[in-house]
Structure 1
Amino acid sequence: MSCPIHPKPEDIVQQEGAQLDFSKDMSYGDYLGLDQVLNAQKPLSPAHDEMLFIVQHQTSELWMKLALHELSAAASCVAEDRLPEAFKMLARVSRIFEQLVHAWDVLSTMTPTDYSKVRPYLGPSSGFQSHQYRQIEFMLGNKNPAMLKPHAHHAERLAAVQAAFEAPSLYDQTLRLMARRGLSLPAAALERDWTQAYAASEAVKQAWLQVYRAPEAHWDLYQMGEELVDLEDAFRLWRFRHVTTVERVIGFKRGTGGTSGVGYLRKMLDVVLFPELWALRTEL
């Protein structure tokens, strides 16, 4: 039996190279707009580490753009009783938050000395002004009218944040879904001022307990509850890594945008987005 003849590496390269003329067709870089993306980093300081600072925040904003895309579609699917599609989207958002958590791992390689060389060039710019982050918070139910103000100077961004502020959150849509499935929920949880932060309800907790005590009878709602818990779990980890990274780099200095920095971020760790889903675990 003869041995198979394998082509030489240089022959493979030559054969492949003959197929790689993209002068007339759309290329990889064209499709991804890489010229624009890779030229969007404009360091203002002579500090070596400013490139890290810029790239980390730009990539985080790209991940947040995808998270918003998925959250918006998931909320629409829940409103239309298309839960299998919503589950996939929400699972993806949870994985996006995991990516965002690991982004802080990279930024944490910036020491306080490194950051001190960059900070004077940042002016009043701050992550507090991220309109995409604010939309995510509003879509997840953490509504606060004061958080509209940082975007008031930019009409288009303000409009996007305002729309998320005024719309039912993902959790609001979930409670309405539960009511459509015949579970007893108070009217105050189903038709309310969507611009107000959600307040925990004993009646809502009892409705969720009904689902969790008989998951076989409410399987998709049970899965929806767990998707939401996964989502908040990942979001909490993101917030925690944010706090610890900021404290590691700047300690308890005030943030560049005038916020209290670590003090404010620590308060955000106490925010619970889907309170009944966490509270019911004590009673099961």
Structure 2
Amino acid sequence: MGQDSVSTPRLSFGPEEEPETGTPYSRYVRLETLHSLQHPRSKVDAELSFIITTQVMELLFDLLRHEWTAAQYALREDDLTAAHAALRRGTHVQDVLVSSWDLLATMTPLEFNAFRPVLGEASGFQSSAFLRLEFLLGNKSESLLRMYQGVPSVHAELAGALQAPSLYDDVLALLARRGLAVGGVEPTTARYRPSAEVEEAWRQVYSDPAKAELARLGEALLDTAERVTRWRHRHYTAVKRSMGAKPGTGGSSGLSWLKQSAEQDVFPELWTVRDQL
């Protein structure tokens, strides 16, 4: 496989032209554009915090996707050093994401309800960047693409992500190349289901000192998985505190969906194998 085919893709955030005025710093980070993106629709102070926090989260979703994709490409090249580095950088992004809930967690129901009507049917569940991360984690569902049917470019990108290997798919492919039986490793468009064969492969990894490098990969993946769970729990508690069990703005089941999501382990065999070690 040639180098060009495995180089880490760079995210595109729009036109590259720079404004003619401003300091080199402002031109580099495009401050004028960045600070023009907040448009509250109410006079409620809490709405600005909601908008900015949400926008920060969206940018961090993109950065996390970049790191997880870099880890995938490194795994395909059997470069565990680079994969570890990308996963490590990703955990730092995840830590900031989890902490970002602090900005919203103390929002009272009265504050949120005061501007909630201006959200209309807008909901965080509609975030295409977040959905890409879910697909990368193996939490795939073709039905989720329906909300993007009116946006062909986003729909096409997500459809490609749905069909592409998840991060865990690439990990299992690596284990297979190292001689471990993990069953079929072809990517699917369905949610990943735990496998006794994969669990046994991880048991062998953790039990064999000669496979210490793979065991370190397993621990790096668990660092990632644990932070996913932290994010989900923080999301759940923040929503529970600010709006209770009312239906979500986009018509979702809101709190019950978040609770169910928080209870699902990412990379499940890395958790269950601990019963055997």
The CA deviation string for residues 229-248 of structure 1, in whole angstroms up to 9 with x for no partner, is 11010010000000000010
Q: CA deviation at 1:200?
A: 1.2
Q: CA deviation at 1:25?
A: 9.0
Structure 1, 152-161 or 86-95: larger mean CA deviation: 152-161
- Distance in 1 separating the partners of 2:35 and 2:23: 18
Cα 1:81–1:26 change in 2 (3 A) is farther
The CA deviation string for residues 208-255 of structure 1, in whole angstroms up to 9 with x for no partner, is 1111011x3112211111111110100100000000000100011110
* Residue 196 of structure 2 corresponds to residue 196 of structure 1: no
Structure 1 residues not aligned, in runs of 5+ = 1-22
Q: 2:40 aligns with which of 21, 43, 68?
A: 43
Give RMSD over aligned pairs.
1.5
The CA deviation string for residues 69-94 of structure 1, in whole angstroms up to 9 with x for no partner, is 11111111111111111111111112
Q: Match for residue 217 of structure 2?
A: 224
Query: Residues 1-284 of structure 1 correspond to what in structure 2 (within 5 A)?
Result: 27-186=24-183, 188=184, 190-191=185-186, 193-214=187-208, 216-284=209-277
What is the aligned-residue identity percentage? 40
The size of the alignment, in residue pairs, is 258
Question: Does the CA contact (< 8 Å) of 1:208 and 1:277 recur in 2?
Answer: yes
- Distance in 2 separating the partners of 1:268 and 1:185: 26
- Distance in 2 separating the partners of 1:105 and 1:234: 15
Q: CA deviation at 1:130?
A: 0.3
Question: Does the CA contact (< 8 Å) of 1:104 and 1:245 recur in 2?
Answer: yes
Q: Match for residue 14 of structure 1?
A: none
The CA deviation string for residues 118-142 of structure 1, in whole angstroms up to 9 with x for no partner, is 1010010100100000000000101
Question: Does the CA contact (< 8 Å) of 1:94 and 1:235 recur in 2?
Answer: no
Question: Does the CA contact (< 8 Å) of 2:106 and 2:242 recur in 1?
Answer: no
Question: Does the CA contact (< 8 Å) of 2:245 and 2:254 recur in 1?
Answer: yes
Task: Please give the TM-score of this superposition, normalised by the length of structure 1.
Answer: 0.87
Q: Secondary structure at the match of 1:254?
A: coil
Q: Secondary structure at the match of 2:246?
A: coil
Give the counterpart letter for 1:225 in structure 2.
G
Q: Match for residue 4 of structure 2?
A: none
Q: CA deviation at 1:275?
A: 1.2
Which has the larger Rg?
1
Q: CA deviation at 1:24?
A: 8.9
Structure 2 residues not aligned, in runs of 5+ = 1-19
Q: Secondary structure at the match of 2:45?
A: coil
- Distance in 2 separating the partners of 1:132 and 1:251: 25
- Distance in 2 separating the partners of 1:95 and 1:150: 31
